Structure 1
């Protein structure tokens, strides 16, 4: 198996070979886990999903993740068919069944519109309740993630207008990001830096992007990217610490002249960026990135310490 690079580079764990996966409330060993070829997610990418991090036996920032999942489902006129409280119980029941009571666990929660009677896009041909799949894995970032300097490459694939496919929707339809990822990988980079339709920096293909300039941090306006949970938390902890943090348009000129750059995501948290399009931004993790990593970790610890579980 080839491991991912960049912020998604993880430590392989043999326990994942037989991990139990929840399919519509039933626990199934990984080798036997499957959905119908008529499932809306497989057939059309019709669904929404969340990536969740387990820390000290608690699912971090679960309320924010479930709020985003259910907002996305409502936006595409899909009834999840399960209340948030019941979804939380299902998540923790699966963690318990797998003995995942500590750290180093990542969960993919996916909800599709369900099984269709025929291969066709119209939701009126759906003949089943939504399909809910929960995949937990023993999956920890490699130790050097916090300090390894990422390589990014600006790709030609843009984040599009919301009237084409709204980038704010965390849908199963990820081909836009996949094609960006392919181009970046072919260029020898860890991840793609994507622009918006106007040429301003939008986001990376699977993480959010920030620059540091003159003691301030900047990220995109948010108009052409997912409303990232970690992105929002980094903005919050920075402002609470008295760090000026802005969401606004900026260009590659601003990026190339930045003091530091970093990405944010649920899996790896805050990760430093070293080079972009072959231009060196920083040769080692800078002081702002290191401080934000500490602030985010403290916020993570506070969240799970105050979070009860069913």
Structure 2
């Protein structure tokens, strides 16, 4: 079994989910898109991932803001508003009779191309929108066990050529980093920025805890994680010192605890990096407390609807 931050409890209901493609619904095995789609041809697309928790799409406004910022960054114009996309997402969830423990992936590409090309002027359709809802509950066993990381030689890009904060379909460099980590015997990859400071992981954001303080990267070279932002907010609300700063592997190897964050898994502890054990427990006390405080923010979002 693959071990990592996206380990989910098996759910047979996912065999029968209905996937949304441009207004129509398809069974899993029938959900297809053209080979002339710009996302398939050149990775020209953006995406967002949401969690349905107790009938509420948690932190929805944050996710929509990030999606619209991504669209503006790549010069993509949506033929719908945030309210209309939200209505579509709820239509998909209602069509699948889903209410809890659901992961919703929204993917929007520039559209169909007249011929294989990078040129956006050769796009002959409006944006393609695909929404995949799946029953996904994070594996508690995986969280208790923790994950291992390997520092990849693949660096996080500079904002002047592919801003790491952009949720785009062009993820090949992250895949390369993950392949290095897997070949080194780790679960996932830790990535440095262009200056050699610790940035993020291939699919999650990275934190360490030193002497009771929480450290994470500056945010200039890492994914614009919603969960990352919520952990920082939880620290601020509860009087926990949280630094967004440059730090190196020297600091990481001497950390008391480490963890990664993501929309699906929340907070997942890291037990080993580059073969060096981090802390004395697979699930450190301070990481557990931060996970509790993060879940309190989710509960608050559910209460406020």
Q: Give TM class, smaller chain.
A: over 0.9
1:46 corresponds to: 44
2:175 corresponds to: 178
Please give the residue correspondences for 1:204-223 in structure 2 after superposition, counting only pairs within 5 Å.
204-223=201-220
1:167 corresponds to: 164
Which deviates more from structure 2 when the two are superposed, residues 8-17 or residues 170-179? 8-17
Q: Post-superposition shift, 1:190?
A: 1.1
1:17 corresponds to: 15
Runs of 4+ in 1 over 3 A off after TM superposition: none
Cα displacement string for residues 235-271 of structure 1 (whole angstroms, at most 9, x for unaligned residues): 0001110000011100000000111100000001011
Could you tell me how far apart the structure 2 residues matched to 1:226 and 1:273 are? 18
2:96 corresponds to: 98
Cα displacement string for residues 92-129 of structure 1 (whole angstroms, at most 9, x for unaligned residues): 11111111112x21111001000010000010000101
1:249 corresponds to: 246
1:296 corresponds to: 294
Cα displacement string for residues 165-195 of structure 1 (whole angstroms, at most 9, x for unaligned residues): 1111110000011000111111111110000
Could you tell me how far apart the structure 2 residues matched to 1:237 and 1:176 are? 31
Instruction: Give the count of matched residue pairs.
Output: 304
The alignment's C-alpha RMSD in Å is: 1.0
1:153 corresponds to: 150
Could you tell me how far apart the structure 1 residues matched to 2:20 and 2:244 are? 38
1:134 corresponds to: 131
Indicate if the aligned counterparts of 2:3 and 2:142 stay in contact, CA closer than 8 A: no
Could you tell me how far apart the structure 2 residues matched to 1:148 and 1:304 are? 28
TM-score w.r.t. the length of structure 2 is 0.98
Unaligned ranges ≥5, structure 2: none
Cα displacement string for residues 278-303 of structure 1 (whole angstroms, at most 9, x for unaligned residues): 10112421121011010000100111
SS in 1 for 2:270: strand
TM-score w.r.t. the length of structure 1 is 0.96
Could you tell me how far apart the structure 2 residues matched to 1:119 and 1:195 are? 34
Could you tell me how far apart the structure 1 residues matched to 2:280 and 2:77 are? 48
Could you tell me how far apart the structure 2 residues matched to 1:4 and 1:230 are? 23
